Chain A
């Protein structure tokens, strides 16, 4: 049991390093569509990691997480000057702050409810934000709005990176993904993170021990909103365009599906889920394989996810464990004869 656990944790250390190494080499192998696609998926992975902090780590299932992603994206566009580039060291914190502020307000109210009510309240707040952008002229209504100039990364008067270049942008996103992953990995092992794990397991017991759980959940909710805001900023810079669909419940549902697909309770599950989800989506949209039926890709994606939930209760990241458990069971049966 113990040796097994040690082996698992050793693999946990080298596997992410291999993945990061491959992602670093990827731009040498390809350009164009696949590079941009991978940038987008890494942004989604950051988004999924931010939700993992709520769902997997704290046990708070939110169905309104896209609001924070979308608000930061809109803030990036709306706070940028019309005829010139914004400095990234100003616009990035500003966009994250907008998302965090909304999360702070939503959390103050939503965290007073539990379970399915929490799901409904977070959804309601996200829909409110969605309709603000959808039905008012603030962000161009249903048409969305363009970001005319990508933010500039200036330090001491020199431009360090050009976010308009796909390869440079790719590495910036990869760096953000690694930093967010490491930050959350350290955070979840800290005293703060252990309290979140305790709340997930048994909130009442934590209160009896002397933890005022509300402020902890509130902080986690706000932080998750801020990290979703980072993803929203990156996607606004990448596409140079935002529209209300970014805040829709489809987006909130998709990021939740990424977690379910990848496996909850593990950070690597969120990243794996984001990649798996995006690749499945890409695959089912491929008319070279599915012909005209590729138009119905949501049907196939949905069916696949139902199958995954049925056969992989712990998600993709839980497959090795499931395989070991299955082999152990077979061995035990064989031993019994």
Chain B
């Protein structure tokens, strides 16, 4: 897999906010079938990196390539169309819709047809099929009719992922999918992420170090917006600079 062209290729990505450089000269590749984790302390620029890669905020310099195309200047919706999906650190489901409708609505982005005002959205075959598939994959099919706002925290996080894959992305940028989860929910989510590797390239930003070292194929460590190490988990764990700058702090 490592020999195949990466689905997402970021080169020298930099983002400044006034005098603060939140992301500094970050380059990374996301390959199909791999989970690439980005770790770092709070304020290391991980979420900003996801925001820049997904097009949610502008880039100061550098380039982003998606499936071989330069998307640096494209808007977030355009990147989503080109195959990039993201989840949010803060849960961003539509609380008043059912679980199914949450997925159906995001799936609708692949085939929008806004001029058709007379056909009910619920009878749109393309989006309902994609939503069912996403719910089956995430194990949420049994609670498809429940109002999303009434779900448990763990279920909401799962729904967030389901809404993401319902748009049929090739690249997934997941911002702390394990945040606030209990042990059992964490296990379920990790199983889900491993299952999603096939057919997707996944960037995982996460604070739970045990989880990161278990599921990741590749880890990039950021400190103050810059990459200080990148490689397979064993190499990153052994890197003295990483131990000093990051893992040392955690272990202390």
Q: Which residues of A contact B (CB under 8 A)?
A: 2, 186-187, 189-195, 197-198, 201-202, 204-213, 215-216, 219
Contact = CB atoms under 8 A, between A and B. Distances in A.
Interface in B94-134: 94-97, 101, 105-106, 108-110, 112-122, 124, 127
Interface string B72-98: 000111101100011010001111110
A197 B167 CA distance: 18
Given A202-B94, A204-B92, A210 B122 contact: no
B117 A202 contact: no
Contacts of B163: 205, 209
Given A191-B112, A194-B105, A201-B95, A209 B167 contact: yes
Contacts of B75: 207, 212
Contact of B109 (A189, A197, A209): A209
Nearest to B77: A212
B106 A209 contact: yes
Given A186-B118, A198-B105, A212-B75, A205 B80 contact: no
B82 to A, nearest CB: 9
B208 interface: no
14 contacts: A186-B118, A190-B121, A191-B112, A191-B121, A192-B114, A193-B117, A195-B108, A201-B94, A205-B88, A206-B109, A208-B80, A209-B106, A209-B167, A210-B109
Interface in B159-189: 163, 167
Contacts of A202: 92, 94
B112 A211 contact: yes
Which 6 residue pairs spanning A and B have beta carbons closest together? A210-B80, A210-B109, A209-B106, A212-B77, A194-B121, A201-B94
Interface of B: 54, 56, 75-78, 80-81, 85-86, 88, 92-97, 101, 105-106, 108-110, 112-122, 124, 127, 145, 163, 167
Contacts of A207: 56, 75-77, 80
A215 B114 CA distance: 10
B200 to A, nearest CB: 16
B58 to A, nearest CB: 14
Interface centre among A195, A206, A209 (most CB of B within 10 A): A209
Contact of B116 (A191, A201, A204, A216): A191
Given A198-B105, A210-B109, A211-B109, A190 B92 contact: no
- A193, A206, A213 interface centre (most CB from chain B within 10 Å): A206
B77 A210 contact: yes
A205 B110 CA distance: 15
B120 A189 contact: yes
Nearest to A212: B77
A326 B53 CA distance: 48
A204 B77 CA distance: 10
A186 B120 CA distance: 7
A208 B105 contact: no
Contacts of A191: 108, 112-114, 116, 119, 121, 124, 127
Contacts of B81: 210
B114 A195 contact: yes
Contacts of B56: 204, 207-208
Given A204-B56, A210-B109, A190 B80 contact: no
Nearest to A265: B96
Contacts of B95: 201
Contact of A198 (B80, B94, B110, B115): B94
Given A195-B114, A205-B163, A211-B109, 16 more contacts: A186-B120, A190-B117, A190-B120, A191-B124, A194-B101, A195-B105, A195-B112, A205-B92, A205-B94, A206-B109, A208-B76, A208-B85, A208-B88, A209-B80, A209-B106, A211-B77
Contacts of A201: 94-97
B105 A190 contact: no
Contact of A208 (B54, B93, B101, B108): B54
B156 to A, nearest CB: 13
Contacts of B124: 191
A293 to B, nearest CB: 43
Contacts of A216: 114
Contacts of B113: 191
Contacts of A208: 54, 56, 76, 80, 85-86, 88, 92
Nearest to A211: B109
A190 B112 contact: no
Nearest to A192: B114
B78 to A, nearest CB: 8
A210 B119 contact: no
A2 B143 CA distance: 13
A140 B109 CA distance: 49
